[in-house]
Amino acid sequence: MFVILYYDVGEKRCAKMLKTCRKYLQWVQNSVFEGEISIANLEKLTYEISEIIKPQEGDSVIIYKFRTKRYTERVVFGIDKKDDLSFI
Amino acid sequence: MKETIYIFSNGRLRRKDNSLIFETEDGQKKFIPVENIKEIFLFGEVDINTKALNFLSQKEIVVHYFNYYGYHTGSFYPREHYNSGYMILKQAEHYLNETERVFIAKRFIEGAAKNSLKILKYYNRRGKDLNNQINEIERLVLELRNYNSVDKAMAIEGQIKQTYYQGFDIIINSDEFKFEERSKKPPKNRINALISFSNSLIYNYCLSEIYKTHLDPRIGYLHTTNFRKFTLNLDIAEIFKPVIGDRTILSLLNKGIIKPNDFEDKLEGVYLKETGRKKFLQAMEERLKQTIKHSKLNRQVSYRRLIRLELYKLEKHFIGEEEYEPFVMDW
């Protein structure tokens, strides 16, 4: 499954969110991640996120799930900050 | 599906924030999502420290090292996590019992031969005259049934391979890419360089898949188990060399994607340059991710997955649940 994740969390929890998401997904822009992920790993990731965020302080995380990328098109203006990671 | 990462740059692979980071020589940092990696192929000069290795082991990531010429140097095969004494005993039992061993070895040869035939027949339908090779291989497969020793079977396998590769010159039909004969260490011409590179990759894909099962890669059947290296991956690879490797080679050549200047002469042999290796790996990745309809499972399965399914079939064979039948392409 392919997901796009973005978050808006309190300053104190930003670094933690960044580190957590980096384990599972690829960084695209500040507080935006995307990438292939298995259902099990998404479950793990959402659990880890739920441990970090504090909704009472206005934190919010949004995940878009795609079963396939077939009906999507990725358009980039300016610089694409996402690296090609298969071939470094 | 977990990803494979190929590192061509020089630099350092480190553990950072419970994930991986690759720092290139010029200071660029690339974060690698550790949870989504199955294996890493290292073609560049990469430093790794114990901390990183411990972490890779914990995350069950296999690392394959290649030297400057693209030869496989070795693999970091993390501590086994799917331990099963029972499976190892069963595997050894099938090795020690000559009849059982020959049965499995012959199945591997048969699978490889049938898949090779599929390729020859495919090009035969497209106007390349390969009837001689096809008939010869079909005859050899039948002959294989008469033998009951691994050495004899190996000899037949050699003949099948030779006949099969003869077909390559007819299929490719290019002066720049002549096959002539199989040469290894070093490969003497471009086609041989491609075949060697492709085979070494498939050995490693198979090894990574074995790591995800209960099987022990050290006990092979067709390739004699000895004191040195992994052999079961070489056995399994036989079936997938035509299916995954040779088809990639032939399509890259026929489409003219790999060109003579992707190769260079070195050490009395011919090797793929980095540009060539990258092109090949890209095509290989695409091939591995491509899915086909699996007739028995009745769902889409990637080529990469087929390798694992093959191992599961072997496991079933060892515990006496279902007799092993090698995978043969459907079309």
Average pLDDT over residues B132-141: 84
Torsional sign, CA A59, A45, B291, B279: positive
- pLDDT score of A4: 93
Q: Tell me the mean pLDDT in the region B200-204.
A: 90
Quote the pLDDT of residue B297. 83
User: Residue B225: pLDDT band by 50, 70, 90 thresholds?
Assistant: low
Q: Which residue of A has its CA nearest to B16?
A: A19
ipTM here: 0.84
Kindly determine whether residue B36 and residue A86, on different chains, have CB atoms separated by under 8 Å. no
pLDDT digits (tens, 9 = 90+) for B176-201: 777 777 778 788 888 888 888 899 89
Query: Is the per-residue pLDDT at B226 higher than 70?
Result: no
Q: Do A87 and B6 touch (CB under 8 A)?
A: yes
Of the candidates A23, A35, A83, the beta carbon closest to that of B19 is on A23
B257-269, pLDDT tens digit by residue?
Answer: 888 887 888 777 8
Contact A35 B5 (CB under 8 A): no
Give me chain B's average pLDDT, please. 86
pLDDT for A43: 93
Determine whether the interchain pair B35/A26 forms a contact, defined as Cβ–Cβ distance below 8 Å. no
Q: Which residues contact B241 (CB under 8 A, 6 or more apart)?
A: B112, B198, B199, B202
The answer to whether the pTM exceeds 0.90 is: no
Does the pLDDT value for residue B227 go beyond 70? no
Instruction: Tell me how close the Cα of A12 comes to any Cα of chain B, in angstroms.
Output: 16
Instruction: Please give the average per-residue pLDDT across B44-66, as a whole number.
Output: 91
CB B8 within 8 A of CB A88: yes
Alpha-carbon distance A43 to A65, whole Å?
12
Residue B316 has pLDDT above 70, yes or no: yes
Q: Is the pLDDT of residue B95 over 90?
A: no
Does residue B36 belong to the interface with chain A, where contact is any CB pair within 8 Å?
A: yes
**Residue contact A86–B5, C-beta within 8 A:** yes
* B271-290 residues touching A, CB cutoff 8 A: 278, 281-282, 285
Is the pLDDT score of A62 beyond 90?
A: yes
The runs of H, that is alpha helices, within chain B are 50-58, 85-96, 98-125, 131-144, 150-172, 190-211, 232-240, 247-254, 274-289, 303-318
Residues of A in contact with B35 (CB under 8 A): 23-24, 37, 41, 44-45
Cβ of residue B30 closer than 8 Å to a chain A Cβ: yes
C-alpha distance from B20 to closest chain A C-alpha (Å): 8
The closest CB to that of A86, out of B33, B35, B285, belongs to B285
Q: What is the DSSP string of A21-37?
A: HHHHSEEEETTEEEEE-
